[in-house]
A and B are shown apart, each in its own frame.
Chain A
Amino acid sequence: EPEVTQTPSHQVTQMGQEVILRCVPISNHLYFYWYRQILGQKVEFLVSFYNNEISEKSEIFDDQFSVERPDGSNFTLKIRSTKLEDSAMYFCASSLTVELFFGSGTQLSVL
């Protein structure tokens, strides 16, 4: 069964460093998303991406964040100058239409 793949599963970084989280969406899907979940809190929308551009972003998704689809398969989230409060589980999701399917997540720990 097709699935969304995320790497790495865990990422530890020092405050102020840049990290890139990688995702391979389901191959025929057209819409791509990043969500995050801080421990004990709700799954929060960060950004959606369609037709090679951002279609919507949340207030969380400020200039510190960027997304890219560098080729036909990968979808990346870059976080510049990480802060302690960026520590969270980051989920990539993709959809053909309304049903979103999530990857297994990247646990980001900023020290």
Chain B
Amino acid sequence: QKEVEQNSGPLSVPEGAIASLNCTYSDRGSQSFFWYRQYSGKSPELIMSIYSNGDKEDGRFTAQLNKASQYVSLLIRDSQPSDSATYLCAVNRSGGSNYKLTFGKGTLLTVNP
């Protein structure tokens, strides 16, 4: 069973702080890694993708990947109340005729004003 594990939270940070979200995965064949944001009752929204070891920055978001440790993280700098949501880690074992994602259960982030 290919698993993606996340701390369910809730993770609570004050406005302006750095939020750190973590994810581990079990399938060493995983090639692509994603962070989705999901507001309550809404659909997952893609916010970051990362494919190689190291850091990838996009605005206030930084994704980090360590394939040897099978670990992905997301840092959110200068957290805003609007960042309050569930953050889903998803991985893909590319190849074949689909790009199916396996999701973690998500970490609920609350940013307090």
Q: Are the chains A and B members of one assembly?
A: yes
Residues of A within 8 A of B (CB): 31, 33, 41-45, 48-51, 55-56, 91, 95, 97-105
Interface residues on B, range: 20 to 34
A41 near B46 with CB under 8 A, answer: no
Contact residue among B44, B94, B99, B104 (Cβ-Cβ distance under 8 Å from A102): B44
Known interface pairs A43-B88, A98-B94, A99-B49; A31-B99 also in contact (CB < 8 Å)? yes
CB neighbours (8 Å) of B101 from chain A are 45, 100
A28 to B73, CA, bound (A): 31
How far, in whole Å, are A103 and B44 apart by their CA atoms in the complex?
8
Chain A interface mostly helix, strand, loop or mixed?
A: strand
Chain B residue numbers with a CB within 8 Å of A56 are 96-98, 100
23 CB < 8 A contacts A-B: A31-B97, A31-B98, A31-B99, A33-B98, A42-B105, A43-B103, A44-B103, A45-B100, A45-B102, A48-B98, A50-B98, A51-B97, A56-B98, A56-B100, A91-B44, A98-B92, A99-B34, A99-B46, A100-B34, A100-B99, A101-B46, A102-B43, A102-B44
